Amino acid sequence: MSTPKPSRRTRPADRKGQLVEHAATLFLERGYPQVSLADIARAAGVTAPSVYRHFADKQSLLAAAVLAGVDDLEACTDRALRTDPTPTADLIAAVCALGVRRPEATSLWRWASAHLTDEQNREVVLRTREILHRWAAALSEGTDLTDREAVTLAWAVLSVAGSLSVHNTRLSSARALDEIDTLVRRVIALRPAGAPPLPPMPPPSAGPPTRRDEILDAAAALFAVRGYAGVGVDDIGAAVGITGPSVYKHFSSKLAILLGIGQRSATRLEAGVMAAWATTADPAKLLALLVDSYVNVITSTPDLSVAFNNSFALAGQPTATDLVDVQRRYVARWTDLLLEADPDLTRERAAVDVHASLSIVNDAIRMRRGTRRPEFGAQMAYLMKGVLAI
């Protein structure tokens, strides 16, 4: 009688795709620098050495994850625009569903572009622009939208659809899909060319800049271009004309510098809150003033964008607890005001709306999309208020 052979453990049909999917989820949740190949292997249920059968290193895995997201966007667009006579309706449904079910497809590149090579970024940019120009053509069909307005709205739609990835509001997939659909429809009804001027923000009252201020300014500029992980203390020192060790006379670590940048932006936002409360008590008007203040702050200095884009580095740091609490209270204040302005909303829906609104300008600043145009700030504030229906 023959002895049965021991069964061999079979591999999944698409181990490479499985690794890409787990990597995309982890990169989006924790940030690229905070994820190791061992983390990805553990999530996929394999050993770390087995990852190298498919990818040379973590960076190549990131590139594959980002490009897989672009593939998803292209496939989603192809399916939606293949139908007639209502391609816009199908496009909205498809994009919203993708943002809810596969947020990495609409969000990962915007968070991780600093860690891609120039060639990789160039490919993603060209393909994404082509996709969004197709969206713009569909959105403008039969309307009075100009080409530039349609493209602006297409980018805003992408930001809103991917905004669920930036917060942890608990909402069922069905309800999240309904809410994102509502917000996207608000976006495409807007006309950015008619945005009213953005009221200027009064200059901050401060004395002459100190060496500490110079270090924060230089670090913020470097972090904005190269990301927190891509900048060393020596780089920051060189930017202000001092040696790296001299920086430690003012800050104990690079993390302390990032913390200082975050605290400075939080102070500027709080000044906007105080100015708004001194003007009106109407919740809708107050929220509109906070939108104007936020746009003024994020467009006038890299501090706010740097603090937001590198929040992964602050996560879990005891020294950052107070700053994180301040940032959460600031966003919660927006949610509270929106609930007062529209009592029919639930808190969860209001939080989704607020984060979608903030994502429009945060994404545009992060990707440096049209930021040099004189109408940029006014259009961002207009789109944000449109999403919030205020």
pLDDT tens column, 225-279: 888 988 999 999 999 999 989 999 999 999 999 999 999 999 999 999 999 999 9
Q: What is the largest CA-CA distance in the chain?
A: 93
Most confident of 5-19, 72-86, 294-308: 294-308
For the entire predicted model, the pTM comes to 0.88
Mean pLDDT of the 104-114 span: 82
* Predicted local distance difference test score (pLDDT) of residue 1: 41
Looking at 217-221, 304-308, 335-339, which range is the least confident one?
304-308
Mean pLDDT of the 118-143 span: 93
- The residue among 225 and 335 whose pLDDT is bigger is 335
When pLDDT is cut at 50, 70 and 90, the band that residue 8 belongs to is very low
Asked if residue 334 has pLDDT above 80, the reply is: yes
Question: What gap in Å lies between CA 24 and CA 69, rounded to an integer?
Answer: 9
Mean pLDDT of the 128-157 span: 94
pLDDT tens column, 156-173: 999 999 998 888 788 889
Task: State the alpha helices, DSSP H only, in the chain.
Answer: 15-30, 37-44, 48-51, 58-81, 87-101, 103-112, 118-140, 147-161, 173-188, 211-226, 233-239, 244-247, 254-277, 283-300, 303-309, 311-314, 321-341, 347-366, 376-388
* Predicted local distance difference test score (pLDDT) of residue 127: 94
Q: Which two tokens stand for residue 127?
A: 């393909």
Strand, helix or coil for residue 78: helix
Strand, helix or coil for residue 163: helix
pLDDT tens column, 10-56: 455 578 999 999 999 999 888 888 899 999 999 999 998 899 999 99
* Predicted local distance difference test score (pLDDT) of residue 85: 53
Asked if residue 102 has pLDDT above 90, the reply is: no
When pLDDT is cut at 50, 70 and 90, the band that residue 9 belongs to is very low
Residue entry with tokens 């309706």: 89
| φ, ψ of residue 38 in degrees (nearest 5) | -65, -40
* Predicted local distance difference test score (pLDDT) of residue 6: 40
Residue entry with tokens 């021991």: 6
Asked if residue 2 has pLDDT above 60, the reply is: no
Question: What gap in Å lies between CA 22 and CA 27, rounded to an integer?
Answer: 9
Contact 51, 64 (CB under 8 A): no
Q: Which two tokens stand for residue 154?
A: 């297409």
Mean pLDDT of the residues in the chain: 90
Residue 118, sorted as left (phi over 0), alpha (psi -120 to 50) or beta, turns out to be alpha
Question: What gap in Å lies between CA 287 and CA 190, rounded to an integer?
Answer: 19
* Predicted local distance difference test score (pLDDT) of residue 107: 85
* Predicted local distance difference test score (pLDDT) of residue 308: 86
